[in-house]
Structure 1
Amino acid sequence: MRSILITGPGGSGRTTVAAATALDAARDGTRTLVLSADRADSLGAALGVPTGDRPVEAAPGLTAWRPDAAHGFREDLVALQERAATVLDLLGASRLDAEEVTPLPGAGELALLRALRDTVLAGRHDLLVVDLPPAPHALDLLALPEELRRYLRRLLPPERQAARALRPVLGRLAGVPMPAEWLYETAARWDAELAAVQAVLEEPATTVRLVAEPGPGGADQVRAARTGLALRGLRPDALVANRVLPPATPDTWLAGPVAQQRKVLEEWRDTYGSGRAAPPPVHEVAHLGRDPRGGDDLTALGVPGAVPAPAPVAWPVTDALADEGVLVWHIPLPGAVREELDLIRRGDEIVVTAGGTRRIVPLPSALRRCTVRGAALREGELRIRFAPDPELWPKGR
């Protein structure tokens, strides 16, 4: 199953492009589902069909759905209270009723991730189009499964769960309460659910479609988003330049904005070809002079339903031991700026910060026996140099 995640700067027309992408694919005979976490029904407004917490047929072959964040949040809270009933009773805590619970910020995005996972597992569609939040929030959301799994492994390491049967004995010997069985079970269930979402995001058929208006602000945000996506190992399949003004216009007031857009469009076509990461094709979407509403307007935009997915981007390690005495780890970071890069080695992990995006990445096994000797940003990729540690490196290498 192919998944296209759509994001971009706020107000760039992401939801409209998501609707147009899904509609074009459905009209091409692809069974398509479009998801959105927008509380306001912007998706329904674009499609011309109201959408809500239950999937609806927006067009032949096209299903639209806005998952209900409140429902899932209430279910999770009630289930947690039931599992922690003994502890809550000991503390004299008063339990919350599901009807009085209001979803916390971020619950809508979590519901979207859960719906994405459930949709892929169900396998009823050929294409999933996801209308993500604006790019900075989308990057945080896409990082959530990996980061939460990391936290769970640190708080409740899997290897320690083997001692669950000895919990009462260990509690008496240590003189302190040991984690209850339900805690291990809950952690294992959360880890399994997060792993399923992470698997969808890391699937080779999953790509990201960036949407932005061609202008100075849009150019800066596209650069930052592309760098952040590359750091997370995600690949753009297209850059949609939205609301492009006609190049020839008799209106002299529009001459300035038109020239500005053409300049940015030329830069987009020229900039994203450096480094190992393949550049996404740039698709121009003309300004209709109004907000697109309904199938005819969406078709007039000419947004492609699905373009060929780019090849997975590798983070290779090259062997330069014979010539320079180092191994070099290549991390593609198109659009990265040297002044916004930070790198920290911590044990068997490397912490990379590029702009506003940060990721903790396990080192390849060969590099764990090395020390960092330097790093440089060259041609859209971060190159980290590692020298073998004589105390750990195999003799004769």
Structure 2
Amino acid sequence: MRTVLVTGPGGAGRTTVAAATALASARSGRRTLLVSSDAVPAFADGPGPVEVAERLFHVRVDSGAHFRGELLELQERASGVLDLLGANRLDGEELTELPGAPQLALLHTLRRVAEGDWAQEGYETLVVDLPPLTEALALLALPGQLRRYLRRLLPRERQAARALRPVLAQLAGVPMPAQWLYEAAARKDAELAAVEALIGDGATTVRLAAEPGRAAGDALSAARTGLALHGLSVDAVVATRVLPRHSADPWFADLSARQDKCLDHWRQEWAPATPVHESAHLGREPRTVEDLAVLAEHCAPGDRAAGHAGSPWWTEDDGDGVIAWCLPLPGAVKEDLKLVRRGDELLLTAGPFHRIVRLESALRRCTVAGAALTDGVLRVRFRPDPALWPRTQ
């Protein structure tokens, strides 16, 4: 399944670009699903996929309903503990979603597409309208982070001792986690793994929507580094609301010239690996399917991903037994890079972006010998630890 994740600076028209991309895919003959958290003009929505055009389906994420359902289910499973504590039950009508609920609801929807009850619908293209850039990058990293937290808080190997829990509880004087908690953690881990696999799939790309301007250019440059850090490739940059050129009005001509200058800079920065498409200003906000069809001419998702997704690292032999682990980080600044080795993990920071990478088995037996950023590629050098590598005769 081809997956296109659409994001961009706030107010740049990313929802419109996502809808136009989905429409272009459907009109090319592909069964397409558009997932969005915001309303799409002229598109019906509902708790499940609704057909809005031939081969085009739309589902709008209801974060409030998802939050209430999850909390009520948790309350029911923990009823024994809650009754023991004398806690009062919460009713669904009094529950209002907390910060972070929209992100979790969107991940839940993607899981249903990846391997849940919607996976049988046979969608060939999935288009996802993500939050604005900074929030989108945090959202895409969330499945891996949550899985890491689950492994640390409820390690699977501890489940083997469930027969001893009554004895351990008496010895420790505190109740041990119930089996249902481990089972719930295992279910959530499997769901997050499915979403993580969808995001990291080689057929998944990110599409950036931005209105030409200095602020948008700065946001795209910063996001370029963050996307590379997480192994996500960008298939296109869609410049939205591009004004007509050669206007007789001096004011419009000046605005158009500024947009042209910005677009030239974007092409130099992103091309040739990532094309920059122009989406004309309609003179109004898109309101109909016909409006989206005009924009869809520049938003076809394409058949293949552009670049490498999921696992961008590669290794090089630096000689003398030193292994260089390489990661392309276009736009990264040396002063903003930080690396910390903690056990079997490498903690990477590039400006405001963070990622924790679990080292491959061979590198876990090495020590970090240094790191350097050269021509947009970060190289971390590992030297085999004599105490952990077998000696040769």
TM-score (norm 2): 0.93
**Counterpart in the other structure of 1:22:** 22
1:161 is paired with a residue whose SS is helix
Letter in 2 for 1:202: G
Aligned partners of 1:350 and 1:362 also within 8 Å: yes
Aligned partners of 1:31 and 1:127 also within 8 Å: yes
Counterpart selection for 2:269 from 264, 271, 286 = 271
Q: Partners of 1:49 and 1:214 in 2: how far apart?
A: 27
The CA RMSD over aligned residues, in Å, is 1.8
Please state if 1:378 is matched with 2:389: no
Matching of residues 94-243 of structure 1 within 5 Å: 94-121=88-115, 122-124=119-121, 125-243=123-241
Q: Partners of 1:165 and 1:199 in 2: how far apart?
A: 34
TM-fit CA distance, 1:388: 2.3
2:331 is paired with a residue whose SS is coil
Matching of residues 306-317 of structure 1 within 5 Å: 306-307=301-302, 308-313=304-309, 314-317=312-315
Q: Partners of 2:250 and 2:277 in 1: how far apart?
A: 26
**Counterpart in the other structure of 1:299:** 293
Letter in 2 for 1:83: R
**Counterpart in the other structure of 1:3:** 3
Q: Partners of 1:147 and 1:165 in 2: how far apart?
A: 30
Unmatched tracts of structure 2, length 5 or more: none
Runs of 4+ in 1 over 6 A off after TM superposition: none
1:393 is paired with a residue whose SS is coil
Counterpart selection for 1:340 from 327, 330, 336 = 336
TM-fit CA distance, 1:396: 4.2
Q: Partners of 2:194 and 2:278 in 1: how far apart?
A: 35
**Counterpart in the other structure of 1:328:** 324
Q: Partners of 2:245 and 2:370 in 1: how far apart?
A: 47
Q: Partners of 2:182 and 2:105 in 1: how far apart?
A: 23
- 1:228-265 CA-to-partner distances (Å, cap 9, x unmatched) read 11111111111111112223221211333322222222
Q: In the comparison of the two structures, how many residue pairs are matched?
A: 385
Q: Partners of 2:205 and 2:120 in 1: how far apart?
A: 18
Q: Against the structure 1 CA distance between its residues 127 and 248, is the aligned structure 2 distance closer, same or farther, given a 3 Å change threshold?
A: same
Unmatched tracts of structure 1, length 5 or more: none
Aligned partners of 2:114 and 2:195 also within 8 Å: no
Q: Partners of 2:79 and 2:308 in 1: how far apart?
A: 46
1:51 is paired with a residue whose SS is coil
**Counterpart in the other structure of 1:352:** 348
Q: Partners of 2:169 and 2:319 in 1: how far apart?
A: 51
Aligned partners of 1:351 and 1:361 also within 8 Å: yes
Which stretch shifts more, 351-360 or 362-371?
362-371
**Counterpart in the other structure of 1:364:** 360
1:123 is paired with a residue whose SS is helix
- 1:303-331 CA-to-partner distances (Å, cap 9, x unmatched) read 33222312425311111123xx5211111
Letter in 2 for 1:115: T
Aligned partners of 1:37 and 1:109 also within 8 Å: no
Letter in 1 for 2:289: G
**Counterpart in the other structure of 2:391:** 395
Q: Partners of 1:395 and 1:237 in 2: how far apart?
A: 47
Aligned partners of 1:36 and 1:65 also within 8 Å: yes
Aligned partners of 2:29 and 2:55 also within 8 Å: yes
Letter in 1 for 2:193: A
Q: Percent identity?
A: 59
Q: Partners of 1:176 and 1:108 in 2: how far apart?
A: 35
Letter in 2 for 1:363: L
Aligned partners of 1:272 and 1:334 also within 8 Å: no
TM-fit CA distance, 1:381: 1.7
Aligned partners of 1:374 and 1:385 also within 8 Å: yes
Q: Partners of 2:202 and 2:163 in 1: how far apart?
A: 40
Which stretch shifts more, 385-394 or 346-355?
385-394
**Counterpart in the other structure of 2:279:** 285
Letter in 2 for 1:244: V
Aligned partners of 1:9 and 1:134 also within 8 Å: yes
TM-fit CA distance, 1:266: 1.8
- 1:285-314 CA-to-partner distances (Å, cap 9, x unmatched) read 121222122122112222332223124253
- 1:265-284 CA-to-partner distances (Å, cap 9, x unmatched) read 222222236xxxx8322111
Q: Partners of 2:362 and 2:179 in 1: how far apart?
A: 38
Aligned partners of 2:329 and 2:376 also within 8 Å: yes
2:51 is paired with a residue whose SS is strand
Q: Partners of 1:110 and 1:131 in 2: how far apart?
A: 14
2:231 is paired with a residue whose SS is coil
Aligned partners of 1:17 and 1:303 also within 8 Å: no
1:179 is paired with a residue whose SS is coil
Aligned partners of 1:8 and 1:225 also within 8 Å: no
- 1:168-209 CA-to-partner distances (Å, cap 9, x unmatched) read 122233333211122111211211111121121112211111
Counterpart selection for 1:66 from 60, 68, 73 = 60
TM-score (norm 1): 0.92
Q: Partners of 1:247 and 1:374 in 2: how far apart?
A: 51
